[in-house]
Structures are given as C-alpha cells and as structure tokens.
Amino acid sequence: MSPAPRKRRVAILFGGRSAEHEVSVVSAGSVIRALDPERYEAVPIGITREGTWHLMAAPPALVPGSGRLPGVAEGSGIAVELAREGDETALVSAEGLREPIDVVFPILHGPYGEDGTVQGMLELAGIPYVGAGVLASAVGMDKAVQKVLFRAAGLPVVEHEVVHERDWEEDREAVEARAGHLGYPIFAKPATLGSSVGITKVGEPGRLVAALELAFRYAGKALLERAVEGAREIECAVLGNDDPVASLPGEIVPGGEFYDYRAKYLDEEGTRLIVPADLPEEVVEEVQRMAVAAFRAIDCSGMARVDFFFREPRDLILNEINTIPGFTSVSMYPKMWEASGLPYPELIDRLVELAVERHQRDAKRGTALDERT
C-alpha cells in the first residue's frame, strides 16, 4: 500500500499595513475554510498594521452583531520571517521554529499587499503565489494608471480627472474647475485603495474640499469620476493564466446611495447581490469579453474581478479591475464562480494550481547569458 501523498502547505497571508486590513482578515478565514483538508494544510500568517508577521492558529473571527471587523494585533501568534535555504522556503522564528511552505495565498487588500510589493518579495523568495504578478498587481492597485491601459486597449472607461495631492495644495481653484468640467455629482476616491475606503459621492461643489481631503488621507493621488447616473453595477470574475475565462456576471443593488464599505462587509441585509445578473445574452457576452480584455490589458494572471456600469439598452462602461477581490462569505468573486458551476473549494483549488503552473513556467526562463546570442 503506497503512502498517502503529502499535503501541499499553503501559507495564507492576511491583515497587512492597509486601511483594508480588516477586510483581508475576514476573507482569509473564508479561504481557509474552503481549502480541502485532504489535499492542503493551511498555514495562517497574520500581518499586523506595523508589518510584523505572526504564525497563528486561525484568523481572528468576525463577531456577529459587533459592527466591527477583526484585525491582527501584536502578539497574536509566533513572530516569523520568510527564509530561503536551498530549494526550500520556510517561515522561521527566533526560537528556532521552522514551517516549510509550498505556496503562498496573499489575501492582502490595498497597499503593501495587493500593489506588487509582497508579490515582488515572493518572486525573490522563489515561491509560487496565488494571483497576479508584480506588474499587474501594481497597475491593478492604481485606478488612474489602469484606465490609461484600458483606453489603449479600446475599452470604454468612466470620464474622470486625476488629482495629485501637490496639485490640490498648490492650486485648488484649478482642481475645482476640473471637477466642474466633469459635472456633479462626482465620486472622489483614493487612486490606490479599494473596498470603497475613502470614497465620497459629491453632489455639489461645496462638498469637494472635504471629499478630497478624505481621499488624500489614504493616498497621494485621487480620482474624480463622473457619476454614471441610472446605471446598474455589474461585476464579472476572471480566472486563468494564459487562457483566462470569465464567469457569469453578477449585479450589485446597493441599499444606500452607493456600494460603500459598510454595505460590502457589515450590512448584509442592506445590499442585494444578484447572481447571475438578469441581463440579455448579448450583454452577458460583451461583459465577459470586456472582462477578459481588461484582464489581459494589465497582463494579469490567476484571478481578478472586473467591475462595470451598465445602462439600457447596451451602454457598458468599464469601471475598474481588482486583482485580489474579496473572498468573504458575501463577496461577489466566489459567488459568481459558484453560479458558473465552480464551487468555492474547487475555485480555491484551481487558484493554487494556477499559481504552481505559472511558477513552473517562469522557472524555465534563463538567468545566465546565452553565449550563442
């Protein structure tokens, strides 16, 4: 009788130095619960807001009815660091603990996790990781830069203005004039953050100052976007490396004025998630086509959620792409794949396989000069 195959050890990174810290913690708990225990051994790694790594038994749990999401505190577990020795990557502690890992699944939303920083570190460590590479992660985090690439790929985007904090400090009147050109209402948001953190819907010029000041609390660059009035919010999940495929789309019906942080993660009753979205077949096909085109435009791999605005009959506008979408129990990415015939556990399994596949492909690249060139 042959021995059972060794379980693949998957390090789940969560928390981090971002305003989306708590969302990451909740997502990580969902991912760990979905991992097949017969095939994988989860290694939960909580990252504090200060950036220290802790090996934990499990992510902190959401307390129902508390109105707050959990976070990773100092002393939550054993302090560890990533180390590479020979062909093995492991998490090590000062006390001599050594935890080998095979794959990393970063569930880190926002800066210092979703923006290419952690991905670059993992590339240097030579370990497979789930999701987009360094370039796509960086571009996917920057809502202003991704729109440049979308336009270059022939994809329609929301009319917008990019505002740097220094421009706002030096000439507010010029920025206000640019906002006026867009017309009100507009949305003011940090250009390099997600989960609707720091976003304000600005209905009149007098509220622009407060909205931009809030956005600049989280990033040095802000985006002003014309509100697409009367539009439906449509999302589509993409999965794959060289041959990405798109899920059936879903629709967000916010209970409030827009799909804000509370609606996404704390108020499950106030927002309706319709999966699959009730759309004509030709619109579904166009959403899927554009979602894959956006995925390829930023050179993405692994996974992404692509968000759209849709107005009848066929006015479809690309909003943004998210390279590490939410994985909580109410998140759209896993829900859309489930509606498309790929249950949550199989989705996680596929993401891990895609990570290993890409790593093995990239490992074949030459690192020394070929004297024949």
DSSP states of 231-280: -EEEEEEEEESSS-EE---EEEE-SSSS--HHHHHT-TTTSEEESS----
CA diameter of the chain: 78
Identify which has the larger pLDDT, 69 or 368: 69
What pLDDT shows up at residue 266?
47
Q: What is the pLDDT of residues 44-97, one digit of tens each?
A: 999 999 999 999 999 887 666 666 778 898 888 999 999 887 778 889 988 888
Summarize the confidence of residues 100-117 as an average pLDDT: 92
What is the dotted CATH code of the domain comprising 8-129? 3.40.50.20
Fold held by 140-156+229-360: D-amino Acid Aminotransferase; Chain A, domain 1 (3.30.470)
Which pLDDT belongs to residue 195?
54
- Is 80 exceeded by the pLDDT of residue 13? yes
Angle (nearest 5°) at CA 47 between 301 and 32: 60
Q: Give the pLDDT score at 269.
A: 57
CA distance 329 to 86: 39
Distance, in Å, from the CA atom of 7 to the CA atom of 19, rounded to the nearest integer, reads 34
What pLDDT score was predicted for residue 366? Answer: 55
pLDDT-based confidence at 6, cuts 50/70/90?
Answer: confident
Q: How does pLDDT run across 289-326, given as a tens digit for each residue? A: 999 999 999 999 999 999 999 998 889 999 999 999 98
Token digits of residue 335: 């829900």
pTM of the predicted protein model: 0.89
User: What pLDDT does 71 receive?
Assistant: 86
Domain positions in the chain: 8-129, 140-156+229-360, 160-226
Taken as a whole, the chain contains a residue count of 373
Q: Give residue 67's pLDDT.
A: 62
21 within 8 A of 59, measured Cβ to Cβ:
no
Tokens, residue 186: 């507009």
What distance lies between CA 12 and its chain's CA centroid? 15
pLDDT tens column, 217-240: 988 999 999 999 889 999 999 999
d(CA 140, CA 236): 15
pLDDT at 279 over 50: yes
Give the pLDDT confidence score for residue 261 in this predicted structure: 47
CATH fold label, 160-226: Dna Ligase; domain 1 (3.30.1490)
Catalytic residue positions, numbered: 20, 195, 265, 305, 307, 320, 322, 326
Arithmetic mean of pLDDT, 143-168: 95
Return the minimum-mean-pLDDT range out of 186-195, 253-262, 270-279: 253-262
Token code pair at residue 29:
């708990």
Task: Tell me if domain 8-129 and domain 160-226 are identical in fold.
Answer: no
Residue-level pLDDT at 257: 56
pLDDT at residue number 182 = 93
User: What pLDDT is stored for residue 94 in this prediction?
Assistant: 84
Question: Which strand (E) or helix (H) includes residue 281?
Answer: helix 281-297
- The DSSP letter of residue 67 is S
pLDDT digits 0-9 by tens, 317-351: 999 999 999 888 778 999 999 999 999 999 999 99
SS3 324: coil
Above 70 in pLDDT, residue 287? Answer: yes
> β-pairing, 88-92 with 250-253?
unpaired
Q: Look at residues 242, 251, 250, 220 and name the one whose alpha carbon lies nearest to residue 362.
A: 242
Does pLDDT of 357 surpass 80?
A: yes
Give the count of beta carbons closer than 10 Å to the beta carbon of residue 222. 28
Label residues 35-49 b or e (16+ Cβ within 10 Å = b).
beeeebebbbbbbbb
Cα distances (Å, whole numbers) of residue 158 to 71, 75, 135, 150, 320 = 34, 44, 23, 11, 9
